[in-house]
Structure 1
Amino acid sequence: MSKPAVPPSPGWDLERSPFHPGEIAIQERVGVREKIDAQGRRAVRRYLTPEQRAYFPLLPYVFMGSVDAQGRPWASVLFGEPGFVSPTNEVTVAVRARPLYGDPLNDAMFPGAEIALLGVQLHTRRRNRIVGTVGALMPDGFSMNIRQTLGICPQYIQGREISFDRDPLAPVPRPVHHASRLDAVSRAIIAKADTYFIASVAPHEGDNMVTGADVTHRGGRPGFVRIDDDSTLTAPEFVGNFIFNTLGNWQMDNHAGLMFIDFDSGDMLYIAAHAEVIWEGPEIRAFTGAQRLFRYHIDELIRVEASLPGRFTAPDYSPLLKRTGHWDEVAKTLEAERLRTVWRPFKVIETIDESASIRSFMLEPADDSGLVTYQAGQYLRIRLQPEGWAEPVTRAYTLSDVSNGRTYRISVKREGNDGVSDWLHEHVAMGDTIETLAPRGSFVFDETAGRSVVLLSAGVGITPMIAMLNSQLVNDGRTLLHKPIHFIHAAIDSERRAFASHLARKEALHTNLNLHIVFSRPSADDVLGKTHHSVGRIDRALLQKLLPLDDYEFYLCGPPTFMQSIYDVLLSLGARDTRIHLESFGPASVSRRVEQSVEADTSEGVVVEFARSGKTAVWRPKSGSLLDLAEANGLQPLYSCRSGTCGTCATRVAKGTVDYIEFPAHEMAPGEALICIAHPHAGLHLEDGTLNREGVTLEL
């Protein structure tokens, strides 16, 4: 064996970053720059590791990115008997393969050409990437000089194996179709695709160690790439490794080379396009699992008939796909927004006992419409009429899982008071139908804060915390919040502790999750250190012990006494009021002391007059709803749902106008407002020739 040109080291052995400015810009935008830089210096190398040198010779195919004479990247695939990709040392690979007939790679191979190899074992879902240049051309292939290597996460890969029916080294002439627009056959290939490959390129700009060609894999449910028209495609981008090689390259050059394989017919479809990244919008929120969208504007396409030298087996779909959406669901979700204030029938498709007293109900639409998307922490208002009850009743239950576009999950505690929760436990089963309104509520996880998080709950107050946790810890090990998450929960004993196995699995998979369970009255079968971590209650001493000095966002949910005591403790420990987010079972059950907040609200206030009581107050965004403001000033308006559903809080507006936190589900008479979800309009108006901030007068 020849002597390696670069001595092996634990990782990236240069002072400069292993990422170029485009990648760094995206990492900074997403808030992972420091973490990924540290990881990259360990994972990105300038040589092949022993594991990679053993891995590539196992492959019967390898995916490749190249750059044509016009500077456009193309994605390709090379085939050969295992061993056709053979590392000759730590920095050189010999590839004994020829491009498929009609592949653009045939015109892009010359010494010094920028290329990338992606070794994927589809059936094991292992991936490794090599970036470098063509060394020498050989009669049966080429050598590659390695610039950079990286092991990549095995997400969204559909398992497939190939069997050759002809010599992969002998490309056979096949019909080749060139076009600038999609035809019917190309549309059919894309419409059923569960996999495609993207080639991109970062032009050299003074540092060729971190630039060059790239090729990567994308997977989803069949049809996850939408055909917008005959020259435009849109695809979701799911959670990945946060390195952002492709997006980073597009920051510098937005050319994209797409490759679709028709695993049934053997057709190959190569597309040259310009890529556009869509960061925000209703389609992203409606597409389960999507972090952003990629829109491809097609410049040229090449379709080669029956090009594959073999046949692949039927797909073994990635288990991660069940956590992703589909464009059909997105369309239904967007259409369902019209029904946000309409009571709709939902069928119970499953019930799950989470503990001795808490049961989850899985609900799906019974009217063939979609589901309105929601944020972690929000609740679902249901309506039903128990047998023997004179009138229908409504109740609100927190959604205990993240939005998935297909089902809602509520988790209900049996209270033992012959009320609605007991009736749900005793009488509602699979196949039954209940009515719901669209999810709503202002107690939601703030994904923009970027701080460490503390989730504090007691009893059934765990439900929004599970949703919040699931929204951040995804895909069996990936985290959207690159900060510590402390999950502290109080229960009586293990029989009445919900979601125990789910939390244990999350803790095992996610290194940034710190779990602590407190039992107030452990049973004889409970074991300290196994079923729970401490005995007693969540108090000041425990929080001081568990929480290192840090800048936290706190989320609280539980019975009123729990909420008030934890809130008071957090303030005494120096937490800012504005960083303590509350959800409680009794409206207005926590007395907040906003004046202790370190963060002053400098926004201009709106004067609110309560006509009958003669009181005047100043509303600012931190004041909450007009109902919250009235209660904070000693008034006791009538209310019930606090969600704009029942109409109990309807109040005449004698002066001014109001805006709504969310659109009311209850109809209002002219001149009235539902103050539980209203706040004063904070705009300016013309008065005596000058602009003044409009006030509001309520008949309270």
Structure 2
Amino acid sequence: MAIYHDGELAVQERAGSRHAAGTVAAIVRTDIPDAARLFLAAQPMIVIGAADSRGDLWASVLTGEAGFITVTGPSSLTVRAAPGPYDPLHAALAGTARVGVIAIDPGTRRRMRMNGTAHRTAENTLDIELQQVYANCPKYIQKREPRWQSATPGRPRHAGELTSEDMAFVHATDTFFVATADLEGNADASHRGGHPGFLTAVDPTHLRWPDYLGNSMFNTLGNLEVNPKAGLLLPDWATGTLLHLTGTATVDWDPDRAAALPGAQRVVDFTVERAVRVDHASPLRWSAPEFSRFNPPVSLEGSTA
């Protein structure tokens, strides 16, 4: 089975990373290694990306006490949680769907990517059969410690653009997750991190972020090369509030534009088409961050359009 599709190969070629990507491809597996089984069993959250009935991509988070993620076979796992009624992925994951999954532990700065097909069971759990399993490096992950707090989610607020409060939320963000998919609908979920201000709301329908040096695989940018649809999840780690966005993203390869953003190799522009904000959505809260030493600085010049 080919590790990379045409979009990923095209981006690797343009970035001059084809050789490095070929080497890194060796980490991609179809089975779950023993160390990953232990890692997954200890996690209180997992991020999932998938498409809704309109083909729009969303990212969301599922939480539970350690042990709610269980490896059930060489390439399968069960997540004893499912998106609630206010979640934009509630209907999408009511049956069978192709999903991108990322398990991330801010406390140890470890993360694991998995892509496959999820099936929701009568017990309100997700059984996921995996096609790709691989670890990612700890770059740009802010260190945090978890705690639980009873939560009463607010009613979701749906809009076609960001409010001024949402824009302030964006500028305070040090971590977000992005869901993308290839032309066949195979989904992926990825992490982006940096100092607050690295993600910018240029206006109510336009977000921008720098693409930092990564693992040379270009899974996210490769998907965007062939399918511009994308979904973002912005968590408020202290309050449990979640801001879900869906829209389209494009990659700007202009070196002069990237040079205005410290550490940027390229710039990604995201157009907001729909936004769903749920205050206090998650009972899992996290401590103040210890920022990654890999985070580039955020310049005042880079914080504007």
The two structures have a TM-score, normalised by structure 2, of 0.95
Structure 2 residue matching 1:276: 3-state secondary structure: strand
Equivalent AA in structure 1 for residue 40 of structure 2 = F
Structure 1 residue matching 2:9: 3-state secondary structure: helix
1:78/1:100 contact within 8 Å kept: no
Structure 1 residue matching 2:47: 3-state secondary structure: strand
**Correspondence for 1:135:** 119
**Correspondence for 1:274:** 248
**Correspondence for 1:553:** none
Matching of residue 238 in structure 1 with residue 212 in structure 2? yes
Query: 1:140 & 1:232 partners in 2: Cα distance?
Result: 36
2:174/2:194 contact within 8 Å kept: yes
Matching of residue 325 in structure 1 with residue 305 in structure 2? no
Query: 1:185 & 1:68 partners in 2: Cα distance?
Result: 26
Structure 1 residue matching 2:54: 3-state secondary structure: coil
Query: 2:105 & 2:137 partners in 1: Cα distance?
Result: 12
2:20/2:216 contact within 8 Å kept: no
Query: 1:37 & 1:289 partners in 2: Cα distance?
Result: 24
Indicate which of 252, 265, 268 corresponds to 1:294.
268
Equivalent AA in structure 1 for residue 226 of structure 2 = M
1:226/1:327 contact within 8 Å kept: no
Equivalent AA in structure 1 for residue 173 of structure 2 = A
**Correspondence for 1:34:** 19
Query: 1:182 & 1:149 partners in 2: Cα distance?
Result: 34
Query: 2:116 & 2:176 partners in 1: Cα distance?
Result: 22
Query: 2:122 & 2:93 partners in 1: Cα distance?
Result: 11
1:283/1:330 contact within 8 Å kept: no
CA spacing shift, 1:101–1:163, aligned 2, 3 Å: farther
Query: 1:273 & 1:240 partners in 2: Cα distance?
Result: 23
**Correspondence for 1:126:** 110
2:144/2:290 contact within 8 Å kept: yes
**Correspondence for 2:289:** 315
Indicate which of 13, 29, 38 corresponds to 1:54.
38
Query: 1:192 & 1:282 partners in 2: Cα distance?
Result: 25
1:184-207 CA distance string (max 9 Å, x none): 221121111111110001132xxx
Query: 2:302 & 2:51 partners in 1: Cα distance?
Result: 35
Question: Percent identity, aligned pairs only?
Answer: 33
Matching of residue 25 in structure 1 with residue 20 in structure 2? no
1:196/1:260 contact within 8 Å kept: yes
1:413-437 CA distance string (max 9 Å, x none): xxxxxxxxxxxxxxxxxxxxxxxxx
Query: 1:257 & 1:182 partners in 2: Cα distance?
Result: 14
Query: 1:286 & 1:102 partners in 2: Cα distance?
Result: 39
**1:673-692 map, 5 Å:** none
**1:637-656 map, 5 Å:** none
The two structures have a TM-score, normalised by structure 1, of 0.42
Q: CA offset at residue 302 of structure 1? A: 0.4
CA spacing shift, 1:111–1:266, aligned 2, 3 Å: closer
Equivalent AA in structure 2 for residue 243 of structure 1 = M
**Correspondence for 1:196:** 176
**Correspondence for 1:223:** 197
1:278-329 CA distance string (max 9 Å, x none): 11143311222110011001100001111121321111110112xx131414
Q: CA offset at residue 140 of structure 1? A: 3.3
1:468-490 CA distance string (max 9 Å, x none): xxxxxxxxxxxxxxxxxxxxxxx
Structure 2 residue matching 1:106: 3-state secondary structure: coil
**1:258-407 map, 5 Å:** 258-321=232-295, 324-330=296-302
Query: 1:127 & 1:305 partners in 2: Cα distance?
Result: 26
**Correspondence for 1:207:** none
2:238/2:287 contact within 8 Å kept: no
When Rg is computed on C-alpha atoms for both structures, the one with the higher figure is 1
Q: CA offset at residue 154 of structure 1? A: 1.3
Query: 2:263 & 2:130 partners in 1: Cα distance?
Result: 34
1:237/1:290 contact within 8 Å kept: yes
Q: CA offset at residue 70 of structure 1? A: 1.1
Query: 1:136 & 1:105 partners in 2: Cα distance?
Result: 12
Equivalent AA in structure 2 for residue 298 of structure 1 = V
Q: CA offset at residue 72 of structure 1? A: 1.4
2:59/2:244 contact within 8 Å kept: yes
Residue segments in structure 2 that go unaligned for 5+ positions in a row: none
Q: CA offset at residue 331 of structure 1? A: 6.9
Matching of residue 253 in structure 1 with residue 227 in structure 2? yes
Matching of residue 73 in structure 1 with residue 57 in structure 2? yes
Equivalent AA in structure 2 for residue 242 of structure 1 = S
Equivalent AA in structure 2 for residue 24 of structure 1 = L
Equivalent AA in structure 1 for residue 218 of structure 2 = F
Structure 1 residue matching 2:67: 3-state secondary structure: coil
2:206/2:271 contact within 8 Å kept: yes
Structure 2 residue matching 1:248: 3-state secondary structure: helix
1:599-628 CA distance string (max 9 Å, x none): xxxxxxxxxxxxxxxxxxxxxxxxxxxxxx
1:100/1:307 contact within 8 Å kept: no
1:45-90 CA distance string (max 9 Å, x none): 1111111122111100111111111111111111000111100111
Q: CA offset at residue 38 of structure 1? A: 3.2
Indicate which of 78, 87, 109 corresponds to 1:94.
78
2:152/2:280 contact within 8 Å kept: no
Query: 2:48 & 2:7 partners in 1: Cα distance?
Result: 21
Aligned length: 305
> Runs of 4 or more off by more than 6 Å in structure 1?
none
Equivalent AA in structure 2 for residue 195 of structure 1 = T
Structure 1 residue matching 2:89: 3-state secondary structure: helix
Q: CA RMSD in A?
A: 1.8
Query: 2:241 & 2:235 partners in 1: Cα distance?
Result: 6
Equivalent AA in structure 2 for residue 139 of structure 1 = E
Indicate which of 101, 107, 110 corresponds to 2:91.
107
Query: 1:156 & 1:194 partners in 2: Cα distance?
Result: 9
